[in-house]
């Protein structure tokens, strides 16, 4: 386990530069569109009183994305929204082909958009991507292409192939800090954040802390961006959680610039396995995330076991290992007096976490 405070974190007014990436306004435009999609519904915000008592905080609010748009992941919002905008701006004479790389959920979102628009979709998946996720993408009618190496290799291969063949690339990460399609993905995620803000208002309790899991950083940037835009100087303390095996945000924070980590990136938190932070998300992450926590797989497995246990004090929740990473981070911080002190977590804290996905497609970490 590793933790680093962000020396550049700000509670100042949200900047125009950040708003170009994601804001309340752009997330609102995405919600105007997405709210008209078949199957759209606001996902529940659950109060986990048993967990709050167990870790010693005042409350834990859990945004449950396990049924989002029938895809069982928050990523159903981002990839499909960005793909829709790509298709609307397409000027070619031939039927377009959507293309992306994925650990699983982003590819399903893009494939879903292709199915709705009746066009082709090709999804590149690296050799350690989960088998259940690949099967779900194929069921949506997309072609899955196996690629050697890690997630970042599949991102490169997808981009090169799309350029060579004239396909429409819908990435959720980019080396280009001004990549508009990646920003559109984050704006789609912002729909979930707007829902959360409205749900907090209904409960009459704004969280003091938000703990959010991170892969390339798109979700963390969407949460940090929209909440910073909405709450201003009174925004919650924001903590990003990622696997020890793929802690690219923490490493970037230590170097004060987007960084890449080495290794095979194999982790049980397979949806968070990425070597490089998204340059498109970094301008928000470097200013608005207060702390970066890298956790071992065992903590995520333990958190998932508690959330899914019918014998626990809270009703069981359908959640995957990656989906439980935010709760794992909360449990680790509260179990460590040093981390609690550094992050300001106490018995009076009101904490929000996100259950980013269902566990129903987690058949195996490896494809046969």
| Residue at token pair 């040093």 | 338
| Distance from C-alpha of 269 to C-alpha of 337, rounded to nearest angstrom | 25
Tell me, what's the pLDDT at 366? 36
Confidence of residue 205 (pLDDT cuts 50, 70, 90): confident
Ramachandran sector of residue 268 (left: φ over 0; alpha: ψ -120 to 50; beta: rest): alpha
pLDDT digit string (tens) for 40-85? Answer: 999 999 999 999 999 999 999 999 999 999 999 999 999 999 999 9
pLDDT digit string (tens) for 243-284? Answer: 999 999 999 999 999 999 999 899 999 999 999 999 999 999
Residue 241, pLDDT above cutoff 60: yes
75-169 topology per CATH: Rossmann fold (3.40.50)
Tell me, what's the pLDDT at 367? 36
Residue 354, pLDDT above cutoff 70: yes
Residue ranges, CATH 3.40.50.1100, the chain: 2-73+180-355, 75-169
pLDDT digit string (tens) for 86-143? Answer: 999 999 889 999 999 999 999 999 999 999 999 999 999 999 898 889 999 999 999 9
Q: Helix (H, G, I), strand (E, B), or coil: what is residue 301?
A: helix
Residues 322, 212: contact at Cβ < 8 Å? no
Max intra-chain CA distance, the chain? 62
pLDDT digit string (tens) for 162-203? Answer: 999 999 999 999 999 999 999 999 999 999 999 999 999 999
2-73+180-355 topology per CATH: Rossmann fold (3.40.50)
pLDDT digit string (tens) for 115-129? Answer: 999 999 999 999 989
Q: Which residues contact 56 (CB under 8 A, 6 or more apart)?
A: 334, 347
Confidence of residue 361 (pLDDT cuts 50, 70, 90): low
Residues 203, 293: contact at Cβ < 8 Å? no
Tell me, what's the pLDDT at 360? 82
Residues 239, 351: contact at Cβ < 8 Å? no
pTM (two decimals):
0.96
pLDDT digit string (tens) for 275-333? Answer: 999 999 999 999 999 999 999 999 999 999 999 999 999 999 999 999 999 999 999 99
Residues 6, 252: contact at Cβ < 8 Å? no
Q: What is the dihedral of CA 65, 69, 70, 71, to 10 degrees?
A: -60
Tell me, what's the pLDDT at 149? 94
Tell me, what's the pLDDT at 368? 30
């Amino acid at each position: 386990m590793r933790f680093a405070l962000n020396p550049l974190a700000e509670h100042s007014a949200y900047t125009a530069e950040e708003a170009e990436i994601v804001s309340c306004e752009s997330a609102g435009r995405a919600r105007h569109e997405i709210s008209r999609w078949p199957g759209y519904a606001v996902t529940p915000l659950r109060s986990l009183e048993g967990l709050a008592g167990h870790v010693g905080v005042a409350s834990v609010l859990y945004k449950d994305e396990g049924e989002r748009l029938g895809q069982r992941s928050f990523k159903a919002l981002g990839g499909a929204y960005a793909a829709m905008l790509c298709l609307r701006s397409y000027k070619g004479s031939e039927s377009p082909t959507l293309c992306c790389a994925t650990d699983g959920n982003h590819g399903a979102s893009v494939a879903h958009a292709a199915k709705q628009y009746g066009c082709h979709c090709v999804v590149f998946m690296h050799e350690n991507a989960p088998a259940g996720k690949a099967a779900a993408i194929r069921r949506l009618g997309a072609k899955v292409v196996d690629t050697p190496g890690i997630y970042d290799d599949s991102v490169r291969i997808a981009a090169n192939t799309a350029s060579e063949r004239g396909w429409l690339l819908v990435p959720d990460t980019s080396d280009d800090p001004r990549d508009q399609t990646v920003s559109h993905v984050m704006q789609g995620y912002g729909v979930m954040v707007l829902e959360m803000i409205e749900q907090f208002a209904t409960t009459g309790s704004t969280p003091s802390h938000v703990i959010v899991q991170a892969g390339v950083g798109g979700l963390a940037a969407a949460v940090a961006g929209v909440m910073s835009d909405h709450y201003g100087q009174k925004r919650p303390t924001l903590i990003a959680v990622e696997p020890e095996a793929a802690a690219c945000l923490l490493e970037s924070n230590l170097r004060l610039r987007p960084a890449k980590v080495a290794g095979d990136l194999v982790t049980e938190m397979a949806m968070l396995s990425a070597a490089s932070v998204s340059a498109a998300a970094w301008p928000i992450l470097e200013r608005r995330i207060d702390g970066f926590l890298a956790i071992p797989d065992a903590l995520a497995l333990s958190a998932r076991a508690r959330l899914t246990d019918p014998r626990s004090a809270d009703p069981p929740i359908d959640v995957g290992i990656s989906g439980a990473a935010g709760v794992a981070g909360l449990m680790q911080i509260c179990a460590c007096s040093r981390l609690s002190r550094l992050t300001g977590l106490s018995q009076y804290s009101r904490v929000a976490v996100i259950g980013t996905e269902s566990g129903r497609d987690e058949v195996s970490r490896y494809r046969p």
